[in-house]
Amino acid sequence: MHTGDSVSFSCHINVSSGWEYLWYKDGSPLAVSGNNHTISSVVRTNTGSYQCRVKRGSNTVFFSDQSQAVRLDIEERPLADIILVTGWSEVFSTDSLVLKCRVQESQHIWNYTWFKEGQPINLLSEKHTVTPEDDPEQSKYSCQGIRTGRPSYSKTSDLFKTKNLLLKRRVLLSISGCIFFGIIAIFIGCIVLRVIRKPGNGEDKPEEAELFLTMAQLKDHDNAPCPVVQYITDAELNASSKKEADENGTISGDTTPLPISSQEDQAMTSENHDTTENNGGLVSFKQ
């Protein structure tokens, strides 16, 4: 049996009347009496083995043997549900909603009956189409599977609300479409700006700092030596120093020259002498 079914047990004895009937489930007595035991809507907890027996007499009680056990197994009745077949892309092209009824976790072949606001519709199809013309109020729908055999019917599905469903879907689609195309437009715009953007003029570029001063800039600075004059002066001084070193017997090299002098030269330098400036040079006169 399946949940919701009605089950009835009957107990009888082929001996005269006047018997009291006792009922048991899995060996435990039940608080029922009479030769019939009925469960109008079974649930999973009603699963078990059922037995009966009779008794009679008040002072001396006589019990019969227990009857054979009858096993009752209760399974959960399958549930029907409604799904929306109309896709998101079809909302803009149609005003109708296609509903489909199915029985969950069942391999049997089912027929279906539909209900609108709890009232049955003369329809045995798996699908039901809702249009604004047929149902301007967009009511609540439910469905149920039916078949020959056990289970003979399924649980009724939950109510499916179609009110303002088309409007909500269109609004959501419009918003998502605007966001999508907005992102695409921004992306394309960035690519176009990157391609057509012109490089900046030379005037806008910052001036690069000059590493070396020009001759005109050196002339404006009083404390800046002239490279040409410095070069010529250093060259002449180096040349004259080298010539005097050669005449006096000094050794010149890459390092600081070491003068080589004799005793006569030392005595000569110890004498008093006067110096005068002649055109930037030094002239020595011996007394």
Residue 275 pLDDT class (50, 70, 90 cuts): very low
Provide the percentage of residues in the chain whose pLDDT is more than 90: 29
Rg of the Cα atoms in the chain? 59
Instruction: Give the Cα separation of 79 and 106 in Å (integer).
Output: 9
Look at residue 62 in the predicted model and tell me its pLDDT: 86
Look at residue 33 in the predicted model and tell me its pLDDT: 85
b/e burial code for range 126-151 (CB count within 10 A of at least 16 → b)? eebebeeeeeeebbebbbbbebeeeb
Instruction: Give the Cα separation of 14 and 19 in Å (integer).
Output: 11
Tokens for 282? Answer: 């030094």
Look at residue 246 in the predicted model and tell me its pLDDT: 55
To the nearest 5 percent, what fractions of the chain are helix, strand and coil?
25, 30, 45
Whether the Cβ atoms of residue 71 and residue 113 lie closer than 8 Å to each other: no
Task: Centre a 10 Å sphere on the Cβ of residue 50 and count the other Cβ atoms it contains.
Answer: 20
Q: Which CATH superfamily is domain 80-163 in?
A: Immunoglobulins (2.60.40.10)
Look at residue 1 in the predicted model and tell me its pLDDT: 92
Look at residue 56 in the predicted model and tell me its pLDDT: 87
Instruction: Give the Cα separation of 239 and 241 in Å (integer).
Output: 5
Q: Of 86-100, 142-156, 229-243, 268-282, give the lowest mean pLDDT range.
A: 268-282
Look at residue 29 in the predicted model and tell me its pLDDT: 93
Q: Is 25 helix (H, G, I), strand (E, B) or coil?
A: strand
168-210 pLDDT, tens digit per residue, is 666 666 676 788 788 888 888 888 888 887 655 555 555 555 5
Mean pLDDT of 123-140: 78
Q: Does domain 7-72 have CATH number 2.60.40.10?
A: yes
pLDDT at 134 over 80: no
Look at residue 243 in the predicted model and tell me its pLDDT: 54
The number of residues making up the chain comes to 287
Q: Is 107 helix (H, G, I), strand (E, B) or coil?
A: coil
In sequence order, the β-bridge partners of residue 97 are: 130
Whether the Cβ atoms of residue 144 and residue 153 lie closer than 8 Å to each other: yes
Residue 57 pLDDT class (50, 70, 90 cuts): confident
Whether the Cβ atoms of residue 166 and residue 95 lie closer than 8 Å to each other: yes
